[in-house]
Structure 1
C-alpha cells in the first residue's frame, strides 16, 4: 500500500470512531504569568515539522510575519505564532510547523513541540464564552477534574488577521446565480469558527438562502432532529424544512465526518444533501473527505466554488 493510501486508511479509521489527532506545542509564557500553556492544531493541517530554516525578512508586512523561507523549493510565509497570541518564548522559536490551509501553504514558528495525541471529539468543548478570540475550542486531555487543558487555535482567524490577502471571501462582487431552494426550506450550517460562520452568513444571504447556524456537529444533529419532529407534526417532511446541510469537519463534541455518517445512515435524513466546507486540503485529506459519504466538498474560502457547489448539490438532489 502506498504512503498516501495508508494515510487515508489510518485517518478513515480515526474518523469512523469520532476521533482525531492533535499536535501539542508551546509558545512561551502567557501574558502576566510564568505558565507555558499548551496549544494544539489538528494533525490534518500539518504537512511537516522542521528545525527553523533561514528566514528572509520582508518589508511592509504584518508585525507577526517573520518573513519567508525556502522550503523544498517553495517560498513559504513564516508567522511568529507566539507574537500572534501574546506569549513570550524563553527558548526563542526554533521549530517550524508547515501547514496546509485552504489550498495555501504557510508556516508557524513555535517555541517547542510536545507530542501528538489521539483524542475523541467529545473531549473537546467550544471556547466561545470562555475568552475565545483566536481559540475555537478547549481540549481536556482526560476526563478527570484536574485534567490539563489545551487551547485549539483558530487558524482561519489567525490567517485572516495576519495575511488578509491570502484568504478568500464568500461574497462575490459580480451577480450571483441564486440557489433554487424550496420555499420555506433552509440550509443548516455547522461550523465552530465565528469568522467562518460570519463569512458563510454573508455568502448565503447573497444567494437569497435562508439558513440556520450551529456551532458543532452535535448541535446540528440535535437541531435537525428537532426540525424533523416539528415537520412531521405539521404533516410535512424534513426536506420541506432543510434543503442542505453545510458542515465543517473540525468541530468540538462531534466532527463533520461523524455528523455526515449519522445523517446518511438515518432514513429520515439520508436524502438531504450534505456538503463539506473545510480548510483541509492535500491529496490524503481530500480523498478522506470523498470517502465520508458527503454529496459535495468545497474548500474554504472561495466565493465562486462555494456558490456553484451549493447550487449543484441542491439541484442534483431535486433532480
Structure 2
C-alpha cells in the first residue's frame, strides 16, 4: 500500500504543464472516485479507531498517526451513500486540506493515473451525488468522479467568512469602489467562501469556474480596452481545476502583453510549501492557503493600498 505513494515527490514537474495525477479508489460499490495525489499524505490500513462523543455522524472516530490524533471521515456516508463499516482491514487516505489533516475511510485503492486537465470536465448539473463532485473524467472507459473534498469538510466543520474587526482598514476600503476581483475556483463551496469575504470589503466580484473561463473573461476585457483591465484589482485563483489549472492560467496571463502586469494570488488547499515553490515557478504574486478570511482580507487590502498610492 505504501508503494502507491512512494513517487509522489517526483511528480511535481506535472504541475505547470496542465497535468495532474489522480488517486482512484472505490467506496461501497463499483463506482470509481478520485482525488488529486498532491492532497494526499499517505494511504494505509486503519490501525485503530476511537469513537468520540458529539461528533458529526460522518466522523466515525479518531486514530493515532505517529503521535497525532487524526479524525476519520466515512467518505461514503459524507457524500450521502451507504456508510462503510470500519474494520482492522479498512483502508484510509490521509489528506491535508485547509491546514487540517484528516483520514477518509474508503473501500479500497485502485491506482494512480496521470491525466491532462483538458480531459477533465465539470460534472453534469443535477441532484444526487453530483452535488459532491468538482469534476468527472474517463479512464480506460471507466467513469471517474472527482470528489469536492472542500464541500465534504465544510459540511462537517462549518466555515466562517467573517473578518476580524482589527483587520479592516476603512480608510483603504473607502477607496475600493468600482474595483473588481476575479475569483477562479471549481468548487462552489470554495468560491462562496472567497466571494463572501471579498464582497465584505466592498469590492465587486467576478467568478469563473476554471482557468480557461477566466482567461476568456480577461481577454474579453482586454479587447474592450485598458479601462476595463484597470478596473481589475487582482485575480484569486485555485490551483487545480478542469480544462485549465491555476498554474497554466498564470502562465497564459504572463505571456499576454495586455495582461502580464495583472496581480495574481494562488488560493488553494494544496500543500503550502509546494505551492510556494510553484508560485515562483509560474510567476504568481502571492500564495494563500484556504480558507483563512483574515489572511485573504489582508492580502486584498494590501493590494488595494498599493494601487491607490
TM-score computed with the length of structure 2 as normaliser: 0.88
Q: 1:109 to 1:240 in 2, by over 3 A?
A: same
RMSD: 2.3
Residues 22, 118 of structure 1: 8 Å contact kept: yes
Equivalent position of 2:132 in the other structure: 134
**237-246 or 65-74: which moved more?**
237-246
* Alignment TM-score, normalising by the size of structure 1: 0.86
Q: Which runs of 5+ in 1 are unaligned?
A: 1-5, 30-35
Whole-angstrom CA distance in 2 between matches of 1:294 and 1:209: 21
Residue of 86, 93, 114 corresponding to 1:118: 114
Q: How does 1:1-319 map to 2 (within 5 A)?
A: 10-11=11-12, 13-29=13-29, 36-88=30-82, 94-127=90-123, 129-131=125-127, 132-141=130-139, 147-164=141-158, 168-174=159-165, 176-177=168-169, 183-230=177-224, 232=225, 236-316=226-306
> Where does residue 3 of structure 1 map in the other structure?
none
Once the two structures are superposed, what CA deviation does each residue of 1:107-132 show, in whole Å capped at 9, x if it has no partner? 10100100000000011111251443
Task: Please give the secondary structure, in 2, of the residue aligned with 1:28.
Answer: coil
Q: What SS does structure 2 have at the residue aligned with 1:140? A: strand
Query: Structure 1 residue 133: deviation in Å?
Result: 1.2
Q: Residue 113 and residue 8 in structure 1: after superposition, are their counterparts in 2 closer, same or farther (change >3 A)? A: closer
Contact 2:93 2:105 (8 Å CA) reproduced: yes
Question: 5+ unaligned residues in a row in structure 2: which ranges?
Answer: 1-6
Partner SS state of residue 288, structure 2: strand
SS of 1:23's partner is strand
Q: In the alignment, is the contact (CA less than 8 A) between 2:135 and 2:242 conserved in 1?
A: yes
Cα offset, 1:155, TM superposition: 0.8
The 3 A distance-change label for structure 1 pair 280 and 318 is: farther
In the TM superposition, residue 280 of structure 1 has moved relative to its aligned partner by 1.0
Instruction: State the 1:53 CA deviation.
Output: 1.2
The equivalent of 2:4 in structure 1 is: none
Instruction: State the shift of 1:304 in Å.
Output: 1.0
- Measured in 2, the distance between the counterparts of 1:183 and 1:223 equals 21
Contact 2:176 2:202 in 1 (8 A): no
Count matched residues.
296
Whole-angstrom CA distance in 1 between matches of 2:108 and 2:83: 9
Tell me how far apart the structure 1 counterparts of residues 121 and 136 of structure 2 sit (CA, whole Å): 5
> CA, structure 1 residues 314+274, in 2 after alignment: closer, same or farther (shift >3 Å)?
farther
CA displacement 1:168-198 (0-9 Å, x = unmatched): 4332252622665665331111111111111
